[in-house]
Amino acid sequence: MGILVRVLEFFGGIAVTYAGYFIFAAVGWPEPLQSMIIERHVIGGLVVTLGLALIWSAFKPKPRARPTGRPTNVAAAPVPAPAAPTPAPAVASGELAALLASGDRLFAEGRTEEALDPYSQALDLARRAHAAHPDDAEATRALAGALKSNADVYDEDGRLDTAIDLYEEALKLNRGLAAGGSATDQRSLSLVLERLGDCREARGHRSRAADLYRESLGIAEGLARSDPNNSLYAEDLAVTRRRLLELEGESVPA
């Protein structure tokens, strides 16, 4: 059917072109009839143009018709699901927690130098996890814990400058976490403040140490009031209060 249409367009175009030529030239027409066609030049030109257009249409490539509906035997492409937030691998896998637990065991046994190895590995993992997921609370919490654990070792070994740097870094993270109101995060902040106060006092920074102890004491008192039967809160409160009283030169209650 398509070939027949093209043939008709081709020969029809030739016929119309010749007709336009004769109209334009008025060849072989009687003189009276020629005088009647005043605008034969214009009309003939238009007819010739129409004929040439038909010839061109016969040879012009026809656009392929697009299907109006989806074939029933072709499955629709699946719509990709939104990408889920990538968890911090070191935190989610438990690898970091295992390293910290190993360091805690060695530290509790007095093997501080040996404890530093798993603690250092844990800190490296925690830094990378936090760098990849800076807004993830668990990654932040893990980094703060790893910083404190390493600082505890350096504090125990008398390397106060390194311990202070690590405690200060942990303190910034703990402040942000404690702002959420969690009792666990509040206690972590209180402990870091108290340990940093110890280091500052040992370095002779008595005024700074007193400020740290007072802030730690305020948090410890609030936690103890919220849960009077919690022995950890009671112990934290007693230790921090004793530190502050010793620093200020007051007698410590027996």
Per-residue pLDDT of the chain (254 residues; tens, 9 = 90+): 555 555 455 555 566 555 555 554 555 555 554 554 445 544 555 544 555 555 556 555 444 433 334 333 434 445 555 544 455 555 656 899 999 999 999 999 999 999 999 999 999 999 999 999 999 999 999 999 999 999 999 999 999 999 999 999 999 999 999 998 799 999 999 999 999 999 999 999 999 999 999 999 999 999 999 999 999 999 999 999 999 999 988 645 54
Question: Looking at the domain 89-248, which fold is it?
Answer: 1.25.40
pTM confidence score = 0.64
pLDDT at 133: 94
**Which distant-in-sequence residues (6+ apart) come within 8 Å of 72 by Cβ?**
none
Could you tell me the residue ranges of all domains in the chain?
Answer: 2-59, 89-248
pLDDT at 33: 46
